[in-house]
C-alpha cells in the first residue's frame, strides 16, 4: 500500500524447502527490486521504496547490507523500480544500474569500501519546464519504470517510462537518446531483450498489451491484448519464441509464437483470492519452472507441462539441430512474415 509504507523484507528460498527462507533480511523501507550478480552470486543488489539502493553480501553473517546509498551519496528521490548488475569495469570493480520514477538512471560502483554513484541519464519529460511558485521554472523529468541492457551489445539499453514511452540509449552517449518508441498508452511495466535474437525486445504495460519489437523499426511486430493490466513479462531461457506474462486478474499466460502466433498456449489462474494481483514472473534459467509473485506477498512456483516446452521432433536418421543459431532462425522466420517488404535490409 503506497500510502502506508512499512518495513521491507528480503527473503531467499531454496525450492527444496519452500516453507522457510534460507536467509532473511529486514529493512526500514519496502524492497522494490533485486538482482543477483551473475559472476558473484552471493552479491545481491536491492532497490528500495525510499529511493535508496544497497548491496547484500550473503557470505557475511550480518543482517545489514554491506553497502548502502544515503542522502549524501546520490540516492533517488522516488522509488527504485529496477536494479541491474553490469560487467565489472576496467578496474574490476563491481557495478550496477538503477532506475527510478525520479527520472534518473544511476550507475553505482563498488570502489574500495563505498558505493560511488554517477548519473548516467536524466529522462526527458514531455513538458520540459513547469511553472513553479513565484514564476520559477521547474525542470520536470520523465519517470523511469523499467530498463534492460542488450545481451551482446554491451553499451545499448532500453528504458521504459510511466508515460508509456521506450527510449533507446547508448552508454557512451547518454546525454541524448538514440531513439524513442511511442510504445504504450500507460506505464511500461517491464521490458526485456530476447536472449537469442539481437534485434528483438518485448514490453508490457498496464494498457493491457504485450508488444514484441525489432529495435530498428518504430512499430511493434506483434501485439497481444490480454484484456487486463499486464504486470510483468519474461522471455524463456530455452526458446527464442516462448514468453510468459502475468496479468492483474491473477493469471499467468504462456505463449510460443512458433506454435501459435495469435493466442497463448496456456492461460492459468495462479492466485485464487479475489483482489489479489499477480505482479511478477520469472523463468528458472535451467529447469522448466516459472515463479510468480503476487500482491499479498505469496510466491507460486509452477512447473511447465511437457506440451508447454515442446522441442522439435527428432525424425528417424535425421539429427535435430539445436542451439542459438536455430533459435535465432526460428524467430527471424516469424519476424520476416510481419516485416514490411521494403525494410528487409
Per-residue pLDDT tens digits for 133-169: 555 555 556 677 788 888 787 778 888 888 888 888 8
Residue 311 pLDDT:
64
The mean predicted confidence, pLDDT, of the chain is 82
> What CA–CA distance (Å, rounded) separates 86 from 155?
10
Residue 128 pLDDT:
46
Q: What percent of the chain has pLDDT over 90?
A: 17
Structural domain spans, the chain: 8-339
Whether residue 129 is predicted with pLDDT greater than 80 in this model: the reply is no
Residue 135 pLDDT:
55
Residue 246 pLDDT:
92
Whether residue 72 is predicted with pLDDT greater than 80 in this model: the reply is no
pLDDT, greater one: 129 or 263 = 263
Average pLDDT of the segment spanning 22-49: 90
pLDDT, greater one: 342 or 197 = 197
Q: Pick left, alpha or beta for residue 307 (phi over 0 → left; psi -120 to 50 → alpha; otherwise beta).
A: alpha
Average pLDDT of the segment spanning 171-180: 72
Residue 328 pLDDT:
83
CB 62 within 8 A of CB 26: no
Residue 155 pLDDT:
78
Whether residue 29 is predicted with pLDDT greater than 80 in this model: the reply is yes
Residue 169 pLDDT:
83
> What CA–CA distance (Å, rounded) separates 272 from 282?
20
Three-state SS letters, 92-110: CCCEEEEEECCCEEEEEEE
Residue 93 pLDDT:
85
Average pLDDT of the segment spanning 229-243: 90
CATH architecture assignment, domain 8-339: 7 Propeller (2.130)
Average pLDDT of the segment spanning 177-199: 86
Residue 345 pLDDT:
45
pTM of the model: 0.81
Amino acid at each position: 500500500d503506497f500510502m502506508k509504507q512499512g518495513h521491507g523484507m528480503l527473503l531467499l528460498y531454496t525450492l527444496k524447502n519452500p516453507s522457510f527462507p534460507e536467509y532473511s533480511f529486514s529493512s526500514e523501507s519496502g524492497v522494490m527490486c533485486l538482482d543477483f550478480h551473475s559472476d558473484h552470486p552471493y552479491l545481491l543488489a536491492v532497490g528500495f521504496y525510499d529511493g535508496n539502493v544497497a548491496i547484500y553480501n550473503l557470505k557475511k553473517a550480518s543482517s545489514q547490507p554491506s553497502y548502502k546509498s544515503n542522502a549524501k551519496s546520490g540516492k533517488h528521490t522516488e522509488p527504485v523500480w529496477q536494479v541491474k548488475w553490469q560487467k565489472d569495469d576496467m578496474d574490476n570493480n563491481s557495478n550496477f544500474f538503477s532506475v527510478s520514477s525520479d527520472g534518473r538512471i544511476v550507475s553505482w560502483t563498488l570502489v574500495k569500501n563505498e558505493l560511488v554513484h554517477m548519473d548516467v541519464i536524466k529522462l526527458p519529460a514531455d513538458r520540459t519546464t513547469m511553472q513553479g511558485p513565484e514564476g520559477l521554472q521547474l525542470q520536470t523529468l520523465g519517470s523511469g519504470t523499467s530498463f534492460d541492457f542488450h545481451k551482446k551489445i554491451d553499451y545499448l539499453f532500453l528504458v521504459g517510462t510511466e508515460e508509456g514511452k521506450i527510449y533507446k540509449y547508448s552508454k557512451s552517449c547518454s546525454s541524448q537518446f538514440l531513439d524513442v518508441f511511442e510504445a504504450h498508452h500507460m506505464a511500461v511495466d517491464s521490458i526485456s531483450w530476447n536472449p537469442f535474437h539481437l534485434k528483438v525486445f518485448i514490453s508490457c504495460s498496464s494498457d493491457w498489451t504485450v508488444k514484441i519489437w525489432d529495435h530498428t523499426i518504430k512499430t511493434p511486430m506483434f501485439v497481444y491484448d490480454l484484456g487486463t493490466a499486464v504486470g510483468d513479462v519474461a522471455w524463456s531461457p530455452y526458446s527464442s519464441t516462448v514468453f510468459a506474462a502475468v496479468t492483474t486478474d491473477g493469471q499467468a499466460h504462456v505463449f510460443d509464437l512458433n506454435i501459435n502466433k495469435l493466442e497463448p498456449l496456456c492461460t492459468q489462474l495462479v492466485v485464487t483470492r479475489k483482489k489479489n494481483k499477480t505482479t511478477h514472473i520469472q523463468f528458472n534459467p535451467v529447469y522448466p519452472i516459472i515463479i510468480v509473485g503476487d500482491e499479498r506477498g505469496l510466491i507460486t512456483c509452477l512447473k511447465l507441462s511437457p506440451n508447454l516446452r515442446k522441442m522439435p521432433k527428432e525424425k528417424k536418421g535425421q539429427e535435430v539441430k539445436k542451439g542459438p543459431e536455430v533459435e535465432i532462425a526460428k524467430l527471424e522466420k516469424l519476424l520476416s512474415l510481419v516485416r514490411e517488404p521494403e525494410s528487409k535490409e
